[in-house]
Amino acid sequence: MSEKKSTYKGSSEAQRKAVAKYHAEKVDNIQIRVPKGRKDYYKIYAASVGSSLNQFFIDAADEKIDRDNNGE
């Protein structure tokens, strides 16, 4: 069997600039700190429900706000 080698050379300067521009214009950055070991706990759970860690926290925050605002 021949081993297939990747032809990926990394992102181009134009791609890096486009990503930086998108992030500057479209998203805010929030950093949270969790106790040691909890990151993996959250990450594994998020993956088990088909979500990224980022989307898991967005959904959890939105759900909490909705619940509080609706008096549940």
pLDDT for 27-46, tens place per residue? 999 999 999 999 999 999 99
The domain limits of the chain are 34-72
Answer for the pair 34, 42: CB distance below 8 angstroms, yes or no: yes
Give the CA radius of gyration of the chain.
19
Closest CA to 60 of 37, 36, 30: 30
pTM of the model: 0.69
Give the model's pLDDT for residue 8: 81
Residue 17, token pair as written in the block: 């600039």
